Amino acid sequence: MTTLSQSADVNIKNLYSDYCANMETYIMFRIAARVVELTPELEKKGRPPIKMSIGAPTVEPPKALLDYFIKTLSEPGIHTYSVPKGEKFFLDAVAQRMKSRFGVDVNPATEITSLLGSKEGLANMFRAIITPRMDHKERDIILTPDPGYASYVDAIEVAGGLSYPTPLTLENSYLPDMDDAVESLKRDGYDPTRIKAVIINYPSNPIGAAAPFEYYEKVVDFARRHKILLISDIAYSEMYFDGQEAPHSILEVPGAKDLAVEFHSLSKPYAMTGWRIGFAVGNADAVGILAKIKGTMDSGIFRAVQKAAAFALTSPECDAYIRENNKMYAENQKVMLAGFKRLGWPIEQLNPPKATFYLWLPIPRNYTSCEKFAADVLEKSGVVLVPGTAFGKTGEGFVRLSLVNPKHELEAVIDRMEQDGFVY
């Protein structure tokens, strides 16, 4: 007779990869879990959570888009597998958009792939260029904006690479000098020949900063000199306030296609964050290897979602929808700036950027840690802020707020903070 082995003999944790063994849960999910934990207590004291941490529009997607999507559901063949690279009708719509919005010609057959959201695409792009290594000094390096979208650092780490920060500060107008970053990397004992790519993200999360075209030209030149891939993340390319210059595509820089790949997202402009659709466009080899690696992991996006996305990218109604929402974000920024001014923040000196739906604010003078400030505001006032360090070391001293909440919530944030003694 066989004896049953004790399940305690097996410790699955011992089987985790070296990269995952010490991995923390993604910061935004950690914040969400903490909010859930505190909610009963906050509700009891009349401070139900107001989530100023949301990185997604709270409005409905465009009505025309929803109507179109519903119609596609009964089309023949719509419910079967797609392909990771995307359907021809979607790729053609992307090419049309790149031409009409940025004046850029791209070949839908070789220079575009669909993505299950740009987060997925970026993570797989990193996998495609990083050879995983344990020793930090031996790792392939990707230069990463700091503060920047938290997923870059995590995904590079899981791929077995090293992210090296390029600091975005008020002093450098949020446009880091990449040559300085290489010098600093050398001083830290890393080998610059291990740099495989540089990431830029304008308009930026979390700061909202935009980049002038000349900066794009500089970064293309930098990537060419170092023979590396330039990854431009323009998830917020459509989110800019009235009167601002429309953000550029890196592919507008002559010759950029030799070395650049750009990540676009339909999530933010069309309030489609849950639909999971974006695209990468640019250098054919970069796009090709990305599509190839995706082929081992996903089987493409629901065709009806691709149909709706193609509609969104080419529809004047959807463009008008984006402009309307941007007006609302600009209005919300005004409300919050006036509110924080009332609480003593030196708003005039901050010169807040006029893009995205984020507000990047310094913490009060009596605080030295943004995490402590965010924790206090959450526990006392029930207001959920994202500490700047969630986006990198350079984010210390700042918090990020979103401008997607309804006006009464924005006003309640200021009122609660005032009542609870949170002043600058």
Ligand X SMILES: Cc1ncc(COP(=O)(O)O)c(C=O)c1O
Phi, psi values for residue 7, rounded to 5°: -65, -20
Q: Measured from the CB of residue 155, what is the shortest distance to ligand X in angstroms? A: 11
Quick check: 197 and 233 in contact, CB under 8 A? no
Q: Which region among 45-53, 114-122, 322-330, 379-387 touches ligand X (by CB under 6 A)?
A: 114-122
DSSP state of 240: B
Q: Which region among 8-16, 29-37, 112-120, 416-424 touches ligand X (by CB under 6 A)?
A: 112-120
84 binds ligand X (CB under 6 A): no
For the chain, the straight-line distance linking the first and the last C-alpha, in angstroms and rounded, comes to 73
For ligand X, give the closer residue by CB, 42 or 168.
Answer: 168
119 binds ligand X (CB under 6 A): yes
353 binds ligand X (CB under 6 A): no
Q: Measured from the CB of residue 163, what is the shortest distance to ligand X in angstroms? A: 14
Q: Measured from the CB of residue 358, what is the shortest distance to ligand X in angstroms? A: 9
- Kindly state the number of chain residues that form the binding site for ligand X, as judged by CB under 6 A: 13
Question: DSSP letters of 326-385?
Answer: HHHHHHHHHHHHHHHHHTT--HHHH---SBTTEEEEEPPTT-S-HHHHHHHHHHHH-EE-
237 binds ligand X (CB under 6 A): no
Residues 191-230 that bind ligand X (CB under 6 A): 201, 205
Q: Measured from the CB of residue 337, what is the shortest distance to ligand X in angstroms? A: 22
What residue number has its CB nearest to ligand X? 117
Which residues are bridge partners to 143 per DSSP? 164, 198
Query: DSSP 3-state helix, strand, coil percentages of the chain (rounded to 5)?
Result: 45, 15, 40
Task: Determine the distance from the C-alpha atom of residue 78 to the mean position of all C-alpha atoms in its chain, rounded to a whole number.
Answer: 30
Q: Measured from the CB of residue 366, what is the shortest distance to ligand X in angstroms? A: 30
Geometric angle at alpha carbon 358, from 354 and 363, rounded to 5° = 110
57 binds ligand X (CB under 6 A): no
Q: Which region among 113-121, 244-252, 386-394, 410-418 touches ligand X (by CB under 6 A)?
A: 113-121
Q: Measured from the CB of residue 277, what is the shortest distance to ligand X in angstroms? A: 8
Q: Measured from the CB of residue 247, what is the shortest distance to ligand X in angstroms? A: 12
Quick check: 94 and 107 in contact, CB under 8 A? no
For ligand X, give the closer residue by CB, 146 or 190.
Answer: 146
d(CA 115, CA 160): 22
d(CA 202, CA 143): 15
For ligand X, give the closer residue by CB, 118 or 326.
Answer: 118
Structure tokens at 221: 């030149």
Residues 275-334 that bind ligand X (CB under 6 A): 278
Helix axes 150-158, 118-129, angle to 10 degrees: 40
d(CA 202, CA 252): 14
For ligand X, give the closer residue by CB, 184 or 273.
Answer: 273
Which residues are bridge partners to 401 per DSSP? 359
Q: Which amino acid is at 84?
A: P
Q: Which residues contact 10 (CB under 8 A, 6 or more apart)?
A: none
For ligand X, give the closer residue by CB, 42 or 94.
Answer: 94
118 binds ligand X (CB under 6 A): yes
Helix axes 118-129, 284-294, angle to 10 degrees: 100
Member of 114, 144, 163, 265 binding ligand X (CB under 6 A): 265
Strands (E) located in 137-216: 141-146, 162-167, 195-200
Member of 72, 96, 184, 273 binding ligand X (CB under 6 A): 273
Structure tokens at 173: 């107008």
For ligand X, give the closer residue by CB, 166 or 381.
Answer: 166
Member of 49, 55, 86, 352 binding ligand X (CB under 6 A): 55
Residues 147-166 that bind ligand X (CB under 6 A): 149
* Listed residue (48, 50, 124, 56) closest to 84, CA to CA: 124
For ligand X, give the closer residue by CB, 161 or 278.
Answer: 278
Q: Which region among 71-79, 86-94, 117-125, 191-199 touches ligand X (by CB under 6 A)?
A: 117-125
For ligand X, give the closer residue by CB, 355 or 410.
Answer: 355
If you search the block for the tokens 């004992």, which residue do you land on?
A: 189
144 binds ligand X (CB under 6 A): no
235 binds ligand X (CB under 6 A): yes
Member of 117, 160, 247, 282 binding ligand X (CB under 6 A): 117
Which residues contact ligand X by CB under 6 A? 55, 117-119, 149, 201, 205, 233, 235, 265, 267, 273, 278
